[in-house]
Chain A
């Protein structure tokens, strides 16, 4: 084999391996591992940054890589998703994404020594995984967190978080639906409200 071709082959192989290594955390085969790595990322961000635009941007990247945001947005809008135009859907997803990133970046002011212990992973018939976990705090009772993970063709992604039985998606769904109902059944006012909150 000519030297040049051989080198190209080795380089190609190396690139392939590198690509595989890089994508492993995202395409984690194990839902428990996905939760663990996401939690590690989040704790890392909280440790290194203070609340502000930098932290929000970092959190937003985690949301984009570990969460199935379009799916979550669709579930949160419920029946109203069908009423919305393509443009409205895109705007809604964008606004909701930055609203969540902002909420998470402000939720934890400073790192308070919390650790996440991943427990049982339960697969369900419809391709869904339920991951149990516990958030231990330095003071007070541990918090029960349950994650919903599914693979919709883009690798495993988180689709919901339940804190002590309260699902983030279901709460948003009620919240958004009630807002839409009180604004003449239109999705537009909700998007405007979310956008103005993101700009604040």
Chain B
């Protein structure tokens, strides 16, 4: 049984969640990394397939979409189950750690950690910006990456912003959302999905997460160079989690405290926020504005 679980982790985890602390333990790790490096092309092929499947799912529920409808959540029961586990882990481990980080670590150090993580993410953003049809934006992002990696001491300092190159952040979920068929509202990201540890997502954004993982040079390189997971991926992931959790603390605490059904409130807020990001990238004529969708509220009132 134990072996089975480990095997499942080996096949699933590396592609789904970049560098998640793998509960399945030490001896399996070398195996995982080896198998990933060998099957990189297969992995990419599979990701493309998954993207196609997600696109079909996203497109499949486009009709009759009024702004009044709730988020499509066909697997609500398992999602709520995962959400309950996530909240427990958060309460016991992640949130206290994030509070200590927020209150105990000096502000400049926190800023540098954020800059470092942001800098590692720039190549993925640049690739996505190319695929979003914005090569000049991608060039700026790459310039930022080069400047910050050198003058900014491996990304610890955001020198590029001082030079007037503003940071942008995008991901493959937004790229898919942008190129979804005409009339597919950005609110429609396929079925809603609660990922273990990673939190709220949907078919579109989870696919995007896999794609981002597959194209990230800073995930491919350590594998190619045989860098031990323990020295690179794990610290990067851990820092990402703590940094992200400390920044979302205020908003999430507020949402939790002021909602009667936290799961539903978070589902709605996540969907709206992602839609806003995607809508700002899409052609105006391609989708109705959020307000036009909401004009339909009058029909069901």
Contacts and interface: CB of A to CB of B under 8 A. Distances in A.
A and B: partners?
Answer: yes
Contacts of A75: 297, 301
B268 interface: yes
Q: How large is the interface on A (under 10, 10 to 19, 20 to 34, 35 or more residues)?
A: 20 to 34
Contacts of A179: 260-261, 264
Interface in B249-286: 254-255, 257-261, 263-265, 267-269, 272-273, 275-277, 279
Contact of B267 (A82, A124, A174, A193): A174
A200 to B, nearest CB: 11
B228 interface: no
B284 to A, nearest CB: 13
Majority DSSP secondary structure for residues of B touching A: helix
B260 A190 contact: yes
A182 B261 contact: yes
Interface stretch (A5-13, A23-31, A52-60, A163-171): A163-171
Nearest to B262: A175
B269 A166 contact: yes
A193 B260 contact: yes
B295 A165 contact: no
Contacts of A194: 260
Contact of B291 (A82, A130, A166): A130
A172 B259 CA distance: 7
A171 B291 contact: no
A56 to B, nearest CB: 14
A172 B275 CA distance: 17
A79 B300 contact: yes
Contacts of B255: 171
Contacts of B264: 174-175, 177-179
Given A170-B268, A174-B268, A175-B268, A78 B277 contact: no
A148 to B, nearest CB: 8
B70 interface: yes
Interface in A158-200: 164-167, 170-179, 182, 190, 193-194
Contacts of B265: 171-172, 174-175
A171 B268 contact: yes
A177 B70 contact: yes
B68 A164 contact: no
A78 B68 contact: yes
A174 B277 CA distance: 20
Contacts, number: 77
Given A78-B297, A79-B301, A166-B269, A175 B276 contact: no
Most chain A CB within a 10 A radius of its CB, from B255, B257, B269, B301: B269
A62 interface: no
Contacts of A193: 260
A126 B260 contact: no
Contacts of A128: 291
A99 interface: yes
B71 interface: yes
Contacts of A124: 291
B301 A78 contact: yes
Given A103-B254, A124-B291, A165 B260 contact: no
A154 interface: no
A128 B298 CA distance: 13
B300 A164 contact: no
26 contacts: A79-B301, A82-B301, A103-B254, A107-B254, A130-B291, A164-B273, A165-B273, A165-B276, A165-B279, A165-B290, A166-B273, A167-B290, A170-B268, A170-B294, A171-B259, A174-B264, A174-B265, A174-B267, A174-B268, A175-B260, A176-B260, A177-B70, A179-B261, A182-B261, A190-B260, A193-B260
Given A130-B291, A164-B276, A171-B259, 17 more contacts: A74-B301, A75-B297, A75-B301, A78-B297, A103-B254, A164-B273, A165-B290, A166-B272, A170-B272, A171-B272, A172-B259, A173-B268, A174-B267, A175-B261, A176-B260, A176-B261, A179-B261
Interface of B: 68, 70-71, 107, 254-255, 257-261, 263-265, 267-269, 272-273, 275-277, 279, 290-291, 294-295, 297, 300-301
